[in-house]
Amino acid sequence: MKNTIKLAITSLVLTFSSAALAVSPDEVKQNVIQTCKGFETLSVTSLEKMSVDAENVYRLLASLSGRGPDWADPMLLEMMNELSTTKKEPFKFGKYWFEQCKTRGFADIDKISSR
């Protein structure tokens, strides 16, 4: 479990880094989609592992804070808050957070590109 979450964290950090190298808003949006796919996987894995080792899941997720764009930290905290209360199945939980990630990431890109 620990390795799975660490792999997802590494993937997210690398995707955040590659977004900074993109040139156009469309390229950045493609990178956001890749980031959100990683966040979806992280959400699913985290929810699946909550029954096994919730403390470690929270600890590993907390280590992601501050490693991505500004819009990602509040989203990560919201996802963490929902882990213990959600009634969603892991797949639907992941899809929900993929859409949240994409919406927030695109909004941030649009805001920056309109300056």
What are the residue boundaries of the structural domains of the chain, listed by start?
A: 2-113
Provide the pLDDT for residue 70. Answer: 81
Cα 65–chain centre separation: 10
Chain position carrying tokens 């797949």: 91
pLDDT confidence bin for 22, thresholds 50/70/90: low
Rounded Cα distance between 42 and 12, Å, is: 9
pLDDT confidence bin for 13, thresholds 50/70/90: low
Quick check: pTM over 0.85?
Answer: no
Residues 58-108: pLDDT tens digits? 999 998 888 777 888 899 999 999 999 999 999 999 999 999 999 998 998
∠ Cα 9 28 99 (to 5°): 60
